[in-house]
Amino acid sequence: MRPSPLLSAAAVAALIAAVAGPASAATAAKPAQGLATSGVTLLGLAAGGHTLSTGTLALLSDTLKATPLAQVVLTPLTVDGTAYGRQVVRPSSGSTSSPALDSTSVAPSLLSGLLAVRAPVLTAAASNPDGGASTEAGSSSLGGASLLGLPMTVDGALDVTSVVTKAGSVGEQTVSVEDLALPSIADLLAALGLDVVKLPTEVLVELLDELDLLTTVVTTADQALTAATAGIQTQIDAAQAEVDRATTALAAQVAELVGPTSQLAAAERDLQTKTAALQPLRDAVTAAQAQLVVANAPVTQATAALDAALSLLSLPAGTPLSGVPPLNQLGLAPLYLAVDTAVAAAQSAITSATSTLTTATTALASAQSLADVAAATVTALRSTLATLQSAVDSLQQVLDAAVAALTSVLRDVQPLVDSLLASVVAVLDGTPLVSLDALSVVSRATATSAEPGDQTATVTGGEVAGLRVLGTDVLSNVLGTTRVDLLDMTSGQLGAVNALVTQLTGTLSSVLSTVPGFPTLSVPAPKVELLTKAVRTGELDGFGTAGTDLRALAITLPSISVPSALALPGAASLPALGGITQVAGLLTSAPITLELANLGNAVRFSPAVAAAGTPTTGTPTTGTPTTGTPGTVAVPTAVGTPQLPRTGSDQPLAALGLALLAGAFVARRRRSLGEA
């Protein structure tokens, strides 16, 4: 094949273009992208299978897509998963406020005295400044709440923001709580069914002593009672021993009710199920009987016509043709034939209906037998429980007599007993389970790139003051001061504070769960957690990420078990006991949880990337072309775009390419002359 000068020229041109072209391919510019979210729930309560939360905010600032998104979801109140007063705020909404709602108005039948809140008024705004996204929300109060019908005091404020700009993503929350006070020890125990004045006075005095709550009034009343009872202490001890024996025997007998009571409940459910199963089977029998009647209808009609004819001849129904006088046999023969034909035609349907009826009857009989057995089991268990309950009633009478005897012995000193009880109850009434003078905290999460160190997640400031648990100022006890700056508070110090809180609540539990003569009284320790937090930073898919989770305060009141001898009158109808299975002689409350200021931030960000490696030939993407002499090519330069350095080898290679092109042209010319 002859070399083509055109192809050679094209190859050289391609070589020149390849060599003299740009040193690297261009990288497209990418705008900054980010996401910032902030979530807040001011107060959450749960008890008796119900949940309630108030002051919920969800802020979203998003520039990940072409159109920035900024929105805030305000939810003033949520009861058992149903939101009330929810609003979505966007830039077009302007500044928006949520309505003031009260759970006793919007959902009175659900909570029935168990829980109640008055939602704070929440405000929010959203905007898209300079292609970014910005949201802010807050409240100047924390609303109000009641627990088991007992009011809780709480005040404070909240401010939340989430912002994405070209520089980065930020989520920040500031919350302050003031003058928080849960109900008193006495009120909470009463709301859970325990009548503290029925506890022995020595137990109550021990409780105050262990919690360092003894007052001069209590000590004086206790000393007066001790002096007055010194002369009759032997009688008191003997009467008290009888009370203790009767109480122990009663508790043991009540414990025997637990198993049969549970079995009876299961047996009654089983009987109800088996009884309910009978009706469909009875319906099936009725339907099968109706089916058989339908199948028999042609035979019945033909037989009736024959019997009517026999009756006219004064012959009994069912008389065979052979029993009919010869003179009448010919006339009746068609009727006998009609009966035989009807029987033959209906035989299959009759057989099927009969089989269905037999099956349905058998199934009904079998199910009835099972129901009868279940009914017998229920009857037997009810009889057993009646016997056990009779024994419980007898032991209760013995206990009542023992208590009456003790009361008789104490008659002369009863005023002193009443005085001591009144002074103890006054202290318990004035001591909240938890109280807090002030708590403020700021949490912040930022991300400016995926590079190490460009993400932060911190609790940046705040303080806590006057934290008292069961009357003890735990900060002062552990740290020597009642007010602490959170930035100065180490994790070890916070751990020591929470350890003392656990010790105090454990004391309440240990004293009240070891009352002589009442082994079934159980008061588990309440759980109080101050400032639980978690922070995280990292990189994911080219984005820097950061997040914070913070809960200011969490309190859990576990279920308590109260023997009926120590229960308040009508305790079984208290809200905290509603819906709880109660064994005879023992009441069990519903567990209760409370969470204050649950906060969370999450951000991610990837900075803008400028175009890199812009070619020096071809169509420019940015910049102004330079002017030059006509006939020359002006080389546009992208302003601010760095160019890769030249290697110095492109000009010689271009010259070589031109030489090869010239050589190809000369060879072609000579070949043409030779051929001529």
Q: 10 Å Cβ neighbour count for 563?
A: 22
Q: What is the model's pLDDT at position 511?
A: 93
Q: How confident is the model at residue 578 (pLDDT cuts 50, 70, 90)?
A: low
What is the share, in percent, of the chain residues with pLDDT greater than 90?
41
Instruction: Give, as one character, the DSSP assignment of residue 579.
Output: T
- Which candidate, 156, 52, 161, places its Cα nearest to that of 106? 52
What is the value of pTM for the model shown? 0.63
User: Residue 406 is encoded by which pair of tokens?
Assistant: 């003790």
Average of pLDDT values for 459-472?
Answer: 87
- Beta strand 455-469 with 434-447 is antiparallel
Q: What is the model's pLDDT at position 509?
A: 92
Q: What is the model's pLDDT at position 625?
A: 36
Per-residue 3-state assignment (H helix, E strand, C coil) for 145-157: EEECCEEEEEEEE
Q: What is the model's pLDDT at position 3?
A: 41
Q: What is the model's pLDDT at position 659?
A: 41
Q: What is the model's pLDDT at position 27?
A: 62
Per DSSP, helices labelled H in 314-410 are 326-409
- Which of residues 263 and 640 earns the better pLDDT score? 263
Tell me which of 172-181, 488-497, 650-659 is least confident: 650-659
Are the beta carbons of 477 and 553 closer than 8 angstroms?
no
Average of pLDDT values for 345-360?
Answer: 91
Burial of 70 (0-12, 13-18, 19+ CB in 10 A): buried
What tens digit of pLDDT does each residue of 614-660 get?
444 333 333 333 333 333 323 233 333 333 333 444 444 344 343 43
Largest Cα span, the chain: 155
- Which candidate, 468, 414, 379, 418, places its Cα nearest to that of 182? 468
Chain centroid to CA 564: how far? 33
Q: What is the model's pLDDT at position 673?
A: 38
Average of pLDDT values for 142-170?
Answer: 88
Average of pLDDT values for 281-296?
Answer: 92
- Which of residues 195 and 631 earns the better pLDDT score? 195
For residue 666, pLDDT beyond 50: no
For residue 374, pLDDT beyond 70: yes
Q: How confident is the model at residue 23 (pLDDT cuts 50, 70, 90)?
A: very low
User: Residue 417 is encoded by which pair of tokens?
Assistant: 């007993």
Average model confidence (pLDDT) across the chain: 82
Q: How many CA atoms lie within 13 A of 176 on its CB side?
A: 12
Q: How confident is the model at residue 286 (pLDDT cuts 50, 70, 90)?
A: very high
Q: What is the model's pLDDT at position 112?
A: 66
Q: What is the model's pLDDT at position 323?
A: 87
Q: What is the model's pLDDT at position 611?
A: 73
Q: How confident is the model at residue 663 (pLDDT cuts 50, 70, 90)?
A: very low
Q: What is the model's pLDDT at position 586?
A: 78
Are the beta carbons of 64 and 543 closer than 8 angstroms?
no
Average of pLDDT values for 293-309?
Answer: 90
- Which of residues 36 and 620 earns the better pLDDT score? 36
Q: Which residue is it, tokens 């403020």?
A: 440
User: Residue 105 is encoded by which pair of tokens?
Assistant: 């108005």
- Which of residues 673 and 104 earns the better pLDDT score? 104
The dihedrals phi and psi of 239, each to the nearest 5 degrees, come to -65, -40
- Spatial separation of the C-alpha atoms in residues 133 and 169, rounded to whole Å: 9
Q: What does each C-alpha distance from 425 to 168, 204, 274 come to in angstroms?
A: 58, 9, 53
For residue 553, pLDDT beyond 50: yes
- Which candidate, 152, 155, 82, 87, places its Cα nearest to that of 117? 152
Q: Which residue is it, tokens 């500044």?
A: 95
For residue 671, pLDDT beyond 60: no
Our CA dihedral for 525, 183, 483, 497, rounded to 10 degrees, sits at 0
Q: What is the model's pLDDT at position 210?
A: 94
SS3 221: helix
What tens digit of pLDDT does each residue of 532-545 get?
889 999 999 999 99
Q: How confident is the model at residue 180 (pLDDT cuts 50, 70, 90)?
A: confident
Tell me which of 21-25, 405-409, 411-415, 461-465 is least confident: 21-25
Q: What is the model's pLDDT at position 390?
A: 92
Q: Which residues pair with 341 in a beta bridge?
A: none
Average of pLDDT values for 185-200?
Answer: 89
Q: How confident is the model at residue 612 (pLDDT cuts 50, 70, 90)?
A: low
Are the beta carbons of 194 and 560 closer than 8 angstroms?
yes
Q: How confident is the model at residue 6 (pLDDT cuts 50, 70, 90)?
A: very low
Helix axes 201-210, 414-429, angle to 10 degrees: 30
- Spatial separation of the C-alpha atoms in residues 535 and 523, rounded to whole Å: 35
What tens digit of pLDDT does each residue of 412-453 get?
888 988 999 999 999 999 999 999 899 888 999 999 999 999
Q: In the chain, what are the domain boundaries?
A: 33-196+431-606, 214-414
Per-residue 3-state assignment (H helix, E strand, C coil) for 404-455: HHHHHHCHHHHHHHHHHHHHHHHHHHCCECEEEEEEEEEEEEEECCCCCCCE
- Which candidate, 573, 455, 578, 474, places its Cα nearest to that of 529? 474
Dihedral sign for Cα atoms in the order 571, 573, 577, 583 = positive
What tens digit of pLDDT does each residue of 509-533 get?
999 999 887 888 899 999 988 888 8
